[in-house]
């Protein structure tokens, strides 16, 4: 499948402020147990780690019994602390190539239901603002389940939320992929004015209006979902301008409402529309830098959606590079099925 990674590590912040590094290595199984764990001085924790990793593997579609993964923590930790659980699960996934992060991961989170891929919470920092930058924090306000790493909705949750990514480009050094997340919750009674049920806490009033208009238009095109949902839209970073996030927003909304085919990885989209109620996708500016950014960031299984007008002007070799990395690209004229 992908080039084998034989060693990987994932770190986690301990309650005392120190760091624990969980290192995973992979070797041929040769009749041994599928997972082996060691924590210096605390055999009970090692046993717990093995159990967690095995449970979390139940959420993966591919089962491979050819390799043994050995996980080891570089220091002992307090038996009461459970924040290392997410780091252990991720280290196990990274070493087998199931999860391929772009940069080293620091992760904190625990769960009582790893076999469902759910992450119940973390002990580190009670609100996200107190979590250090760049730390993957488990829990309902951070990473609620393992599928959310690629923006997929949790198949077992009562609130469906999906995340998509869009390139943010301003010519500065802060360029990168921003995300938008749409969470929908069924409304008990039918409502007439669907605008009121969409809240966008991160943005100012003007932009909130834009987001509502986009969603209302796209749902009108869809024919369903009007007055049915209580919607919350969150952005990874509020400091962006322009309206090229529109297509990403619409795709996240459709994914959250269970009305779109799913990519295995993330959906990365850029595009806008003057008339979402017809489902048409219009072109946006900054083709070259955005394509360069997407080519840099895309990973295996990712789905890239660009406006149809870009099709002829794509940088040479972009499709091939993406395909080699396992991502797929489509230039779309309209949303919906084919």
Partner 1 sequence: MLGSLFRNPLRRPPRQDAFDASALGGAAIALPAPSGITIPAPCAAVLVDRGGRSRRLASGSRIAALEGETAWCVHPGPYTCDLAPFAGAPEIGLRVSFAVDASDPRATHQRFDLFLASEAGSAVELAGFAGLAQTALQRELAQGNLELPPCTTLEEWNTFRSGFNQLMYTRFGVTVDDCVPVDIGATHDYAALLEARLAAQAAVPEAASETAVTLAVPPTEAFVPACEDARALRRLFLELPCLMCAVRMAVLPADQERFRQHQDLLRRLDLVSLAVGTMPALELAAPGQPLAQHEQLRRARHSRRAAAALDEAWALLARMKVAGEGPLDVLFDEADRIVTNLETESGARRVTSMQDEVSA
- If one asks whether residue 328 binds partner 1 (CB under 8 A), the answer comes out as yes
> How many whole angstroms separate alpha carbon 264 and alpha carbon 1?
14
- If one asks whether residue 32 binds partner 1 (CB under 8 A), the answer comes out as yes
**Residues 59 to 118 in contact with partner 1, rule: CB under 8 A:** 61-66, 112-113, 115-116
- If one asks whether residue 264 binds partner 1 (CB under 8 A), the answer comes out as yes
x/- contact string, 203-222, with partner 1 (CB under 8 A)?
Answer: --------------------
| Residues recorded for the chain | 338
Provide the 3-class DSSP secondary structure of residue 268.
strand
As measured in angstroms, the least distance from the Cβ of 76 to partner 1 is 23
For the record, the structure tokens of 147 come out as 């599928």
- If one asks whether residue 158 binds partner 1 (CB under 8 A), the answer comes out as yes
- If one asks whether residue 52 binds partner 1 (CB under 8 A), the answer comes out as no
**CB closer to partner 1 out of 169 and 257:** 257
The residues, any chain, with a CB within 8 Å of residue 46's CB and separated by 6 or more, are 37, 38, 39
What are the helix (H) ranges across the chain? 43-57, 84-95, 205-222, 246-256, 287-297, 318-324
Of the residues 73, 251, 294, 298, which one makes contact with partner 1 according to CB under 8 A: 251
How far lies 307's CA from each of 14, 202, 265, in Å? 45, 27, 20
Count of residues that bind partner 1 according to CB under 8 A: 54
**CB closer to partner 1 out of 131 and 307:** 307
- If one asks whether residue 260 binds partner 1 (CB under 8 A), the answer comes out as yes
Of the residues 5, 157, 203, 213, which one makes contact with partner 1 according to CB under 8 A: 157
Of the residues 5, 42, 123, 159, which one makes contact with partner 1 according to CB under 8 A: 159
Of the residues 216, 262, 287, 318, which one makes contact with partner 1 according to CB under 8 A: 262
- If one asks whether residue 263 binds partner 1 (CB under 8 A), the answer comes out as yes
Alpha-carbon dihedral of residues 72, 76, 78, 79, nearest 10 degrees? Answer: 50
Q: Judge whether 254 and 335 are in contact, CB under 8 Å.
A: yes
As measured in angstroms, the least distance from the Cβ of 159 to partner 1 is 7
Residue 9 bridge partners (DSSP): 23
- If one asks whether residue 189 binds partner 1 (CB under 8 A), the answer comes out as no
As measured in angstroms, the least distance from the Cβ of 263 to partner 1 is 5
Q: Which residue has the tokens 């992450």?
A: 119
Residue 71 bridge partners (DSSP): 24, 37
DSSP states along 152-190: PPPTT-SSEEEEEEEEE--SSTT-EEEEEEEEEEE-SS-
As measured in angstroms, the least distance from the Cβ of 130 to partner 1 is 26
CA atoms within 13 A on the CB side of 291: 22
Q: Which residues bind partner 1 (CB under 8 A)?
A: 1, 31-33, 36, 61-66, 112-113, 115-116, 152-153, 155-160, 184-188, 223-224, 228-229, 251, 254-255, 257-264, 267, 301, 303, 305, 328, 330, 332, 335-338
């Amino acid at each position: 499948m992908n080039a084998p990674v034989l060693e990987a590590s994932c770190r986690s912040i301990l309650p005392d402020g120190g760091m624990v590094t969980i290192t995973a290595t992979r070797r041929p199984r040769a009749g041994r147990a599928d997972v082996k764990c060691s924590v210096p001085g605390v055999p009970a924790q090692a046993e717990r780690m093995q159990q967690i990793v095995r449970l979390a593997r139940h959420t993966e579609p591919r089962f491979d019994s050819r390799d043994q993964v050995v996980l080891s923590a570089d220091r002992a930790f307090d038996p009461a602390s459970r924040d290392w659980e997410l780091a252990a699960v991720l280290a196990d996934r990274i070493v087998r190539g199931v999860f391929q992060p772009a940069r080293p991961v620091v992760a904190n989170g625990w769960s009582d239901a790893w076999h469902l891929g759910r992450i119940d919470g973390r002990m580190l920092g009670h609100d996200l603002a107190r979590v250090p930058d760049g730390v993957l924090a488990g829990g309902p306000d951070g990473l609620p389940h393992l599928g959310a790493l690629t923006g997929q909705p949790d198949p077992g949750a009562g609130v469906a939320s999906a995340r998509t990514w869009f390139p943010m480009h301003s010519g500065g050094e802060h360029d990168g992929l921003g995300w938008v997340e749409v969470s929908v919750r069924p409304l008990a009674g039918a409502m007439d004015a669907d605008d009121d049920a969409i809240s966008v806490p991160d943005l100012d009033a003007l932009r909130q209006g834009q987001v509502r208009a986009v969603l209302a238009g796209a749902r009108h095109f869809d024919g369903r979902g009007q007055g049915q949902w209580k919607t919350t839209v969150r952005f990874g970073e509020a400091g962006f301008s322009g309206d090229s996030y529109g297509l990403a927003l619409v795709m996240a909304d459709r994914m959250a409402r269970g009305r779109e085919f799913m990519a295995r990885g993330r959906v990365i989209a850029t595009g806008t529309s003057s008339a979402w109620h017809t489902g048409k996708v219009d072109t946006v500016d900054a083709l070259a830098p955005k394509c360069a950014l997407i080519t840099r960031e895309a990973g295996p299984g990712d789905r890239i959606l660009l406006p149809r007008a870009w099709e002829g002007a794509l940088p040479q070799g972009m499709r091939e590079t993406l395909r080699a990395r396992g991502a797929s690209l489509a230039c779309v004229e309209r949303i919906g099925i084919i």
